[in-house]
Structure 1
Amino acid sequence: LSDGTELPASAVVFAAGVRPRDELAEPAGLERAARGGFLVDERCRTADERVWAVGECAAVLGRCYGLAAPGYRMAETVAGQLLGSPSAVFPGADMSAKLKLLGVDVAGFGDVHARTEGAMEFVREDRAAGTYGKLVLAPDGRTLLGGVLAGDAGGYGALRTLLGRELTAPPELLLAGARTL
């Protein structure tokens, strides 16, 4: 480490908690990603071959995931390497999530920001009911690329199964009936 402390060749260091402490990277002589997190490669390894990072404190190839499922996949990657599979790599992760934030159901899946070239957004908002839904469609207007639900995320599971597929009904009906899909 930067303070001169030597780690044994077989040392494994890990941390768990609610807040990632990536400010510890610099004193340890490790690099941080531009937007935070210990910078790691596709094997979740830092520039120091003896140190891996997983979960919210890790920035795989510069990207922090911030969800539990990707953290589990990172841990599997590191475990594979420690058990003798040096070719184990983090394959990326599904960033879909269904959460309850301050008592409000929220879900997002796929291309939530409509970053796909030519993508179209269909939005349905019901202020009286306190619900919002957005479907992101491919340029053909029929293929689901992503979506966001807030206030009522009941249709999350069904809509997520349509990701990358042709819609089974018009977008307004899918969002209006999201609870009963």
Structure 2
Amino acid sequence: MSAMTQAVSFAGRLLVATPALTDPNFDRAVVLLLDHDEEGTLGVVLNRPTPIEVEAVLEAWAELAGAPAVVFQGGPVALDSALALAVVPGEQAAEAVLGWRRVHGAIGLVDLEAPPELLAAELGSLRVFAGYAGWAPGQLEDELLEGAWYVVESEPGDVSAPDPERLWRSVLRRQRGELAMVATYPDDPSLN
């Protein structure tokens, strides 16, 4: 890996799967990168809701979960583990919020071991993920060179999108230039 590539961190940005990405785990995926450094990359897929209600697995956190209040499949790694993201709106994001660690801007990781009532007044909607997406050192950079992903800026609303199945198209649509046109790419190009 070159020093230039290594110095650029994509933490807080989105990976948006290109139509060329054939891995079924990431078909039309939008991944928020939580960590990206010389030790590798970790993120969560934002647009894979499951039918499992948050209340069924983390009852104490259910009231804070945004709609849809289901667990999302964060990626193919460690599906038996949970992590949560939440937006801390307004000025609170600039301060330290106990039980919340900033990832980027107003977006942060929630300590699910903390009592929910400790965070209830501070958090915008909470989203719970089972598993995560992970890349070994240099692996993501290789996938970027292969054209598997677009790297774009995230917005706080991406974490709590009320219609996650449309997130891939909406993130692409808000980009400038030719990238916005990718949002019109058909689900099945053979039907064109």
TM-score, structure 2 as length reference:
0.26
Q: Which has the larger radius of gyration?
A: 1
Query: Given the two structures, how large is their TM-score scaled by the length of structure 1?
Result: 0.27
The structure whose residues are more often helix, as a share, is: 2
Ranked by relative contact order (alpha carbons within 8 Å, sequence separation 6 or more), the top structure is 2
